[in-house]
A and B are shown apart, each in its own frame.
Chain A
Amino acid sequence: MMLKGRIIYKGTAEGDALVASHPISFYGGVDPETGDIIERDHELRGESLVGRVLVFPYGKGSTVGSYILYRLAKKGLAPAAIINEKCETIVAVGAIISSIPCVDRIDISKVKPGARIRIKGGVVRF
């Protein structure tokens, strides 16, 4: 399947889809040392986002979350790419400063968890 979205940060990436139907808070919700999702009661708790194509509706929580993405990227623990339904400031800024390809305006309910995803520009293929 091919879905077309809007480019937030352009780039090419490939990885397995890690899909959440709920928003993610990077500050406090993701361990910056390991890339594990640690937010209490989150559906992806315990999953690692390292090297995955992280698919979720939008970011939430503190704007410091942008720095968590940057920290992960510096350690080689960042997601391969980010796909959002509606990108907001925290994720957009985090993706840009960390050079993580990021696309939004995608109907994320169509993305199957675990699917091999390729992103090029604003086009998502799986």
Chain B
Amino acid sequence: MLLTKAEQDMLSGREGHATKKCMEILVALGDIYGARKLVKVSSVQVSGVSYKNLGDAGIEFLSELADDGRARVKTTLNPAGMDLTNWQAQGIDEGFASKQLRVIEAFRRLGVEISCTCTPYLAGNKPAFGEHIAWGESSAVAYANSVLGARTNREGGPSALAASLTGLTPLYGYHLDENRVPTLIIDVTAQLKSPEDFSAMGYFVGKKAGNGAPFFHGVKRAGIEELKTLSAALASSGGVAMYHIEGVTPEAKTKPDGLEVLSFSQRDLEETAAGLNDGGSPDFISVGCPHCSLEEVATIARMLRGRRVAREFWICCSRRVKLQSDRRGYTRLVEASGARFACDTCMVVAPIEDLGFKVVATNSAKAVHYLRNGGLQARFWPLEKCVEEATKPK
């Protein structure tokens, strides 16, 4: 790979140990994936924040980097394993909490914004069309490439951090035009009526598309809520980093010829949704995977007005959306019902299996996927049904 003089200096250790390690990571990845050079990034999203996933090794690594490393570009964080201010009420034990706070402290020293959300694009980190970025968090990667038209590969925690601390990433994969084209056509004949239908579709298509870039034909409209849950599902059952929706996403051209065509019918939709349902009565209900938008919080607040919830009910969102919700009076309505905001975290990265829950209801196919991996039973319901069920007496 061709390095500039300044980049060679960074690699040689002239700018400190952290910068050197980060450059070693970027150069090795560039060589592995055939990059010709490094490119400047404007934004980084770092995954690998929950202590549940990082462990003590992660803390050590981050603390060591923070000794002389600093973020050089706007850098935001994925959700942590708990609400950073309200963890006691969530039932998180002190041992876990103190470790999690050490992780956060290391990120703070690194100059990273403690945003703790999987929807940075709803919380002040929204790159423009065509910008090179280095994002972790698979759902945000798919959203950034597909919906925003920014350019990122699927970064892991350390490679995203390496980009943050150097302001650079190797130029390969989704940074290049030729890799952003569709590889498979999805002919959608199902009636998509809710974000949950998009979630189920993403889960179905992700399995078939693998690492490819599906092109959806026949989707009439899709808003932020539909696109964020579609992105999450495509990236959890598969490894999709980019997709196109004809008439909706910015890089979707007219339907390409010569590609394999797969259909997504009403029956596929119904079967996928049924397959995400394990049965059982939920003892825990959680929405916001990816983190809720303000509009979703508004819907929940309207439904909970004057009612009480009978089961543990978490509304996962970024602190930014929670603040907006405070100002608009939604928070008061939600909390009066006994439901709980879970900021900075979610049902996937919090240690909820240790909180004693067995059956979890959610409106996200991605959440179902990871909850099942954690040994829990799941129900996949639309947002409105999740709220209704939360208020039903046990």
Q: Which residues of A contact B (CB under 8 A)?
A: 6, 8-9, 27, 32, 62-64, 66-68, 70-72, 74, 87-90, 92-93, 96-97, 104
Contact A70 B61, beta carbon cutoff 8 Å: yes
Query: Which residue of B31, B53, B54, B158 is within 8 Å of A93 (Cβ)?
Result: B158
> Taking A32-B55, A96-B25 as contacts, is the C-beta distance between A64 and B32 under 8 angstroms?
no
- Contact residues in B for A8 (Cβ distance below 8 Å): 28, 32
**In the bound complex, what is the Cα–Cα distance between A63 and B47 (angstroms)?**
9
Write out the residue numbers on chain A whose beta carbons fall within 8 Å of the beta carbon of B167. Answer: none
A42–B56 CA distance with the chains assembled, in angstroms: 26
Candidates A9, A70, A90, A104; contact of B156 at CB < 8 Å: A90
Q: Is B6 interfacial (CB 8 A cutoff)?
A: no
A71 and B158 CA atoms in complex are apart in Å by 14
Residues of B within 8 A of A67 (CB): 48, 54-55, 57-58, 61, 157-158
Contact with A along B1-39 (1 / 0, CB 8 A): 000000000000000000001001100110110000000
Given known A-B contacts A66-B157, A97-B21, A97-B61, A89 and B29 have beta carbons under 8 A apart: yes
- The yes or no answer to B69 lying at the interface (CB within 8 A) is no
The answer to whether A66 touches B158, judged by C-beta atoms less than 8 angstroms apart, is: yes
Interface pair A64/B28, CB less than 8 Å apart: no
Q: Does B159 contact A (CB under 8 A)?
A: yes
Q: How far is the CA of A90 from the CA of B32 in the complex (A)?
A: 12
Instruction: Check: B79 CB closer than 8 A to any chain A CB.
Output: no
Smallest beta-carbon distance B156→chain A, Å: 3
Tell yes or no: B282 within 8 A of A by CB: no
B351 within 8 A of A: no
B35-51 residues with Cβ-Cβ distance < 8 A to A are 47-48
Interchain Cβ contacts under 8 Å between A and B, 26 examples = A6-B31, A8-B32, A27-B53, A32-B57, A63-B47, A63-B48, A63-B136, A63-B157, A63-B158, A63-B159, A64-B156, A66-B158, A67-B57, A70-B61, A71-B55, A71-B60, A87-B32, A88-B32, A89-B32, A92-B25, A92-B28, A92-B29, A93-B25, A93-B29, A97-B25, A104-B32
